[in-house]
Structure 1
């Protein structure tokens, strides 16, 4: 419901088809008052959603067919916000990417940067996990993340790569006089060599020794909170 309401409210989003049960239409109208930009089609039998969606999808009686958003520009995102930037190095699970986008929106990130390849496309699963944040946080797709790191460094940013074996914690290494960039690695293998070498510093989160690591989306949330706390302080 959050994802559908946010997409309907986003003037940059091209809408194609909206399917709603009577209950979902009433709920959506409380979140986003009518008139909407697209006329809803009433669905009496909820099993009809399985014609368009996977069998195990959680749709809450609402489904919206849309065009992907136009490609976001990193330069434009940096100009629009002084918040941190997240670089995702081959994070491929759409649910993790969606959860990261949700945290990025909550803590004022300027952009989330992913590769053209080895990154999930804009799908319903990703949008659902993002809970509306896909319409808020610019998603920038780039061919070479190492070059993006170098570009950000030339613009004065401080680039921190999250790695469990790092000596210093994020709180110790965060920059207080410039934009911070967080680089997060894949769910299984972590940061790749080139990204590690181009970061200004590798940092860790101070988690208990009882656990080896955090899920990448959980790590992103904790790290973004630390950066937001530092900015407020």
Structure 2
């Protein structure tokens, strides 16, 4: 019941995306329903649009009123339906050796989440797992930061992250939680080819219950001159380290 209720709540929202990367990716995604497109003549020039798509031509200033202040819309704004839910069982059923899984524990900033999606797609991740109540919704800011990855990276939202981590372990993944206080370096924690990288929110880090569901806690060996890295930077480094260890590629 909870999953169906959350899905209905998402379906009731109508996010607006802007900018060429986000709009082009959404238009190219067969799983994405586009409700409406607003565009300047320059923005829509050369686009092969579906014949049934509702398109309204508008000026630059008109588009600016449809998006947050100073958002770089590049002459394109779309209103969409959120993507269909992905069950964690379906995500794990498609697991391939060498493809990491990324789990976010209460990372709610859309810019960070979008940047992590971009890195995850770049390093051929299997998908992204977040807790439904503590993750950013699909939005223009998220789509812009993801630069197209929102449309291509499978994103599974779960009710209980600890329970999901148990399912991930049952699927053969070694779960590594990134924690600044850990004594083990990430390079020493990376084991087999099925790796799940678990990241917590900036400042708070991993919650205790989530950390207890990891097989290892590891740190990035950064200089003492700085306390920590932005979570999206940490994710990119961890994904690269896994890629170098396994030699996997997209």
Q: Would you say 1:8 and 2:27 are equivalent positions?
A: yes
Q: Would you say 1:108 and 2:127 are equivalent positions?
A: no
In structure 1, distance between residues paired with 2:76 and 2:190: 42
> How far does residue 163 in structure 1 lie from its aligned partner after superposition?
0.5
Q: Which moved more, 1:73-82 or 1:152-161?
A: 73-82
Q: Would you say 1:230 and 2:237 are equivalent positions?
A: no
2:218 aligned to 181, 195, 203, which one? Answer: 203
Unmatched runs of 5 consecutive residues or more in structure 1? none
Could you tell me which residue of structure 2 aligns to residue 73 of structure 1?
A: 87
TM-score, reference length from structure 1: 0.92
TM-score, reference length from structure 2: 0.86
In structure 2, distance between residues paired with 1:189 and 1:213: 12
1:150–1:81: structure 2 CA closer, same or farther, 3 Å change rule?
closer
Could you tell me which residue of structure 2 aligns to residue 121 of structure 1?
A: 137
How many residue pairs end up in the alignment?
A: 226
Could you tell me which residue of structure 2 aligns to residue 49 of structure 1?
A: 63
Could you tell me which residue of structure 1 aligns to residue 231 of structure 2?
A: 216
In structure 2, distance between residues paired with 1:105 and 1:80: 15
In structure 2, distance between residues paired with 1:78 and 1:131: 25
Contact 1:87 1:114 in 2 (8 A): yes
In structure 2, distance between residues paired with 1:190 and 1:111: 21
SS in 2 for 1:134: helix
In structure 1, distance between residues paired with 2:42 and 2:240: 36
Structure 1's consecutive aligned runs of 4 or more residues displaced over 4 angstroms after TM superposition are: none
Unmatched runs of 5 consecutive residues or more in structure 2? 1-19
Q: Deviations over 1:161-219 (max 9, x none)?
A: 0011211111111122x410011001121001001111100001111111110000110
